[in-house]
Structure 1
């Protein structure tokens, strides 16, 4: 701190001994030591506060960088989501249009593909019984009574 050599300290000590006197010199030296210690602690505390503030400002700078990167990432993701959402809506509209077009085409065909079947008629104009159908008939008939067993 101060550039004081050993010879200068001896001169200061002799002057203090003459001015203060040998009776009060130990008490004054002790008081000066306490004050010097307080001054050193105060200086070290100020240094630590300055270092802490510098670290805090560095942390705030890093925090701001991270927040900026997070905002940038969020806006990129939001842009991508909006783009994808609009593409999906366009695809949905296209599919719905195709479905509506195909539904209207299937509901109203332009020409019948086959002629409708004509019912056969007899000479008298009455319908005959149709031929037996190859479809299986339901077995709903009168129940058959069980046969009696012969005891033997």
Structure 2
């Protein structure tokens, strides 16, 4: 970190011994060690925070890409669905247009069953009259 060699460290220790004195040197060394430990923990915490933020940014970018892909896929599926629906509905549209062009044809067909029903009704009436004549006769 500071690129200090062993000989430089011995020189710093001798200067500290002379300046601080032998009685206070152990206390000062302990305090300096604690402060250095705090500094290292603080630097490590800052590094970890920066790494977390970078990972969070990467995750956000990835999430945006996934959401964009999902939107594109949804649009593609909706487009294909619309195309398929139009393809399937074309025969029904053609039939409804043909039916609208010939409105009289269904009316003629609807009259024929009514006439057949009336004829059947008259036959049953005749059958009832014949049965009544036999009973009375």
Normalising to structure 1: TM-score of the pair? 0.64
1:74, CA displacement in angstroms?
Answer: 0.9
Provide the C-alpha distance between the structure 2 equivalents of 1:16 and 1:53, rounded to a whole number of angstroms. 41
Q: Which residue of 2 aligns with 1:38?
A: 38
Q: Secondary structure at the match of 1:33?
A: helix
Provide the C-alpha distance between the structure 2 equivalents of 1:34 and 1:55, rounded to a whole number of angstroms. 31
- Higher RCO, Cα 8 Å, sep 6+: 2
Asked whether 1:53 is paired with 2:53, we answer yes
Provide the C-alpha distance between the structure 2 equivalents of 1:12 and 1:26, rounded to a whole number of angstroms. 14
Q: Which residue of 2 aligns with 1:93?
A: 93
Q: Which has the larger radius of gyration?
A: 1
Q: Which residue of 2 aligns with 1:69?
A: 69
Render the CA deviation track for 1:18-42: whole Å, top value 9, x for unaligned. 0000111111001100000001101
Structure 2 unaligned segments of length 5 or more: list them. 110-129
Render the CA deviation track for 1:96-137: whole Å, top value 9, x for unaligned. 12344566336459xxxxxxxxxxxxxxxxxxxxxxxxxxx9
1:1-152 → structure 2 map (5 Å cutoff):
1-101=1-101, 104-105=104-105, 107=107
1:64, CA displacement in angstroms?
Answer: 1.1
Structure 1 unaligned segments of length 5 or more: list them. 110-136, 143-152
Provide the C-alpha distance between the structure 2 equivalents of 1:6 and 1:16, rounded to a whole number of angstroms. 15
Q: Secondary structure at the match of 1:3?
A: coil
Provide the C-alpha distance between the structure 2 equivalents of 1:6 and 1:81, rounded to a whole number of angstroms. 76
Q: CA RMSD in A?
A: 2.9
Provide the C-alpha distance between the structure 1 equivalents of 2:79 and 2:62, rounded to a whole number of angstroms. 26
Normalising to structure 2: TM-score of the pair? 0.71
